[in-house]
Amino acid sequence: MHTTTTLSAAPNHTAVAPAEAPPHHAACLNCGTALADRYCAHCGQDAHHAHRFTLRSLLFHDLPHSIWHVDKGVGYTLRQMLTRPGATLHEYMAGRRAQHFRPITYLLLITAVSMLLLSAVGINPVPAAQQAEMPRLIQLIMERYMQLYAKYPTLIYLIILPANAALAVWLLRPSKFNFAEMLLCQAFVSGTTTIISTVFMIPLLLLIRYFPALQPWMMLTMLPYMAYSAWVFRQLLEPARMPAEDKWVRSIGTVVLQTVVLVVSLILVQIAIMFSLIRQDPSLLEDFRQKTAPKPRSGQAAPVR
């Protein structure tokens, strides 16, 4: 009778088992807390993924999981920022943050990956056909700037993010975001626009190698950045009770002023590089004057000796 009772009770116990499989360990390997579920109640570590590392698990699970998994994944955050950026930013600021990358980390990681991709393609700021006629000073300024950008790819963001956030707080004040919140919004937007710009720049850089005349078209890579930013800002203003035209005016005005800040920042950086180069080699200034001096007309008589 005792054996029969034990066997009949077993199915009932199995039927009420939790949906999550029990953890592999009795205690959390990270903090030692007793485990009652898959995740530690004290530190949150996943007991199922506390296994010993192997090359197979590293390549096919841990690395893809750490980057592309839906929980705190770059892929998830990027997808949300491309499809529903305004709602995503409102939700993040309201406290729904577990599934997203932190904004500053998101920006830094995407900027680093984009820089690696652009470096692999090869960034040549001065086409070979123009190098003979271009002043040496201009060539060095562009080369130094690209070297600075490659070494410190987030430098320009550190310069312009606070200014962009201040402009956005001023013009997008119906969104009711304070400066700190708008700074984080700008980090998300800047990271996403970096990906968008990179996608447009890589094919153009490859074409410029064979068709140098396309070099001026590089300026068009600013258009996707500006269009996306205006769209995001328009979505940030969606909850505000104001005419749709006013929302677009504020959004586009914010993008225009932020673009001005970007251009001015780039010019100031290049001016600083120019003064540094001239201080190191004053002959660069004389070469610049000679190559930029107006050339005599073809019909003008040669000077009498």
CA atoms within 13 A on the CB side of 291: 16
Q: 168-172, 212-216, 229-233, 245-249: which range is least confident on average?
A: 212-216
Q: Quick one: how far is CA 184 from the chain centroid?
A: 12
Buried/exposed 86-114: b ≥16 CB within 10 Å, e otherwise = bebbbebbeeeeebbbbbbebbbebbebb
Instruction: Say what percent of the chain tops pLDDT 70.
Output: 75
For 26, 99, 289, 292, 300, the CA distances from 295, given in Å and listed in that order, are: 85, 63, 12, 8, 10
State the pLDDT at residue 135. 81
pLDDT in tens, 234-274: 999 999 999 999 999 999 999 999 999 988 988 898 899 99
If you average pLDDT over every residue of the chain, what do you get?
Answer: 78
pLDDT above 90: residue 232: yes
State the pLDDT at residue 30. 78
The amino acid occupying position 57 is S
pLDDT in tens, 118-173: 777 766 655 555 566 678 888 888 888 877 777 776 777 777 899 999 999 999 99
Q: What DSSP line would sit under 120-132, residue for residue?
A: HH---SS-HHHHT
**Could you tell me the pTM of the whole model?**
0.72
Find out whether 75 and 81 touch, Cβ atoms under 8 Å.
no
3-state secondary structure of 243: coil
Strand blocks (E) in 78-127: none
CA pair distance 172, 165, nearest whole angstrom: 10
State the pLDDT at residue 12. 47
CA pair distance 141, 135, nearest whole angstrom: 10
